A and B are shown apart, each in its own frame.
Chain A
Amino acid sequence: MQSLLSIIYLIGSVSFIMGMKMMGNAKTARKGNLVGAAGMTLAIVGTIVLHEGAVSPVIYGLILLAILIGTIVGWMTAKKVQMTKMPELVSIFNGMGGACAALISLIEFNHTKHTSHIMDVVEHIIPSDGIAPGTFFCILAGLIIGSISFSGSIIAFLKLNGTVDKPVRLPKYNIINTIFLIAIVGFAAYLFKVETPTLVYALFAMALLYGVMFVLPIGGADMPVVISLLNSFTGVAAAFGGFLYGNYVMLTGGILVGSAGTLLTIVMCEAMNRPLFNVIFGAFGGGAATATSTSEKGTIKDISVADTATLMNYSKRVVIVPGYGLAVAQAQHVIHELEMILEERGVEVKYAIHPVAGRMPGHMNVLLAEANVDYGKLVEMDDINPEFPNTDVVLVVGANDVVNPAAKTDPSSPIYGMPILDVENAKHIIINKRSMNAGYAGIDNLLFYNPKNSMLFGDAKKVLTELVAELKTM
């Protein structure tokens, strides 16, 4: 039986690797996800069915009940959530995995340290001559990393959700956090020596608090990077669980996500041209915000829906720059309608997709694909930038920072160095915004004052619907 379980774990491990590889290609991605899910199901069923030794039916009942509740709740939540809320959900699910890893460590710690009144020792983990230091190390590492991942993910969720909207920063928070982390590691080392099992709960609480302190100072725009980082943390925590039990499927899954997640985090940082170090230790938003406000800005022009319709109707090439505001207003369907009407009139329409449009890389593609926008019309930044000089009208909907020229011209700007869409090279720029509020990074945008630019104020969905109606009458 045990060798059959080993084979199942091998199949599970291979399916994780295959699944991840297939997810890297748009054609095979969906199948890849299913391959991973199949491997996971096999591993879970195998663990339960092929377990050796007598187990009380109560325990089997509890396991099945937990899986049943988790499946129903997880399935319903994932099916019902709006596409715009996707990043929040990934964050929450990641936190659940971290909590799971932390709880395993808490239980194992009790098993190993707390053997006096209930003999509850998992036999082959603990040799008769006492607990191996390696085992103990895995338990504590899993506990700390899992807890940080859990509480950090919850804070990231609250930030994306808008419940916690401003970065909270203690003075010298970097130094405080670093000292606190050292204290946690020191306390964990101390736990090696003492025999007081209750102290492990103190370590648990400290790690949870560190997760909160780690994510709180980081600005909302950097949350995707943080979630990706915490994702790889949970992977590492799962891998420590794998070490603990000598379980290869946990090891493969955990290490795979740990290393792939770390690389993905770095790639995402590169897409925003912000080193990971700056994301974690640097402030985003605030600081330089006042620098641009003193300089000469010029005036802002308004444009009516009717004028916008006329302008677009007689253009040859229109480029739409969608941003998170479009998603918030649920305007992805009406923008597709606009695109189809313009195409009927012989106007060439493309979408310019900034790598971090939406809330995560690729998020905007998902949202537009949901509205049946043709995949081929979504053009990535490097391919669309040379086309702007030949573009008649650029329509910016709910985007701000990704078209802010300060990223190229103002070294004091917090987004300086981030690659942007060069919309100012187009003949006309129309920016749809609800108001003159600053973007997600909380900084002013000089593009609004560009003589080629006109502002089309109003809720994206409402304004675009009016625009479509106006075009239909022409």
Chain B
Amino acid sequence: MENILSIFSEHEQMIYFVILAIFVGIEVIGGVPSILHTPLMSGANAIHGVVIVGAIYVMLNSYPENYVSLALGFLAVLLGTLNVVGGFVVTDRMLEMFKKK
């Protein structure tokens, strides 16, 4: 019990941040018409590509001699970029169709 309490007080800000962000996520989706579900899912798909920031960070903090880290990091940045670029472009193509005529 004491452990849990100390974890809470140590990370109080972070816990608040997470809970508020969860509510923001729910709020943002609320009341969206079903025709926009697919583009929205695709857009959300592009946004979680933000994980690439972590991949870049790993690369920047690796030593040039550590080939395993570099190889895996290279792959991670590559896949993350695919997620981000592909995700946003494909969403844009879907939404292009919804232009007002």
Interface set of A (CB-CB < 8 Å, partner B): 12, 16-17, 19-21, 23-27, 29-30, 32-34, 36-37, 40, 43-44, 47-48, 51, 53, 55-56, 58-59, 62-63, 65-67, 69-71, 73-75, 77-79, 81, 83, 86-87, 89-90, 92-94, 96-97, 99-101, 103-104, 106-108, 110-111, 118-120, 122, 134, 227-228, 231-232, 234-235, 237-239, 241-245, 247-261, 263-264, 267-268, 271, 353, 355, 360-363, 365-366, 369-370, 372, 374-375, 378, 380
Contact = CB atoms under 8 A, between A and B. Distances in A.
B90 A250 contact: no
A249 B54 CA distance: 10
A43 B54 CA distance: 11
A229 to B, nearest CB: 10
Given A24-B28, A74-B82, A243-B14, 15 more contacts: A33-B92, A36-B46, A40-B46, A70-B81, A103-B75, A108-B58, A110-B69, A227-B41, A232-B44, A238-B51, A238-B54, A251-B21, A260-B29, A363-B38, A365-B97
A259 B72 CA distance: 29
B18 interface: yes
Interface in B16-33: 17-18, 21-26, 28-33
B39 A380 contact: no
Interface string B81-99: 1111111111111111111
Nearest to A21: B28
A184 to B, nearest CB: 21
Give the residue among A16, A53, A258 with the most B Cβ atoms within 10 A: A16
A103 B98 contact: no
Nearest to A64: B77
Query: Secondary structure of the A side of the interface?
Result: helix
Contact of A81 (B44, B48, B73, B90): B90
Nearest to A238: B51
Nearest to A70: B81
A44 B85 CA distance: 12
Contacts of A253: 47-48, 50-51
B48 A62 contact: no
Most buried by B among A34, A90, A363: A90
A65 B82 CA distance: 13
Contacts of B44: 20, 231-232, 235, 256-257, 260-261, 264
B65 interface: yes
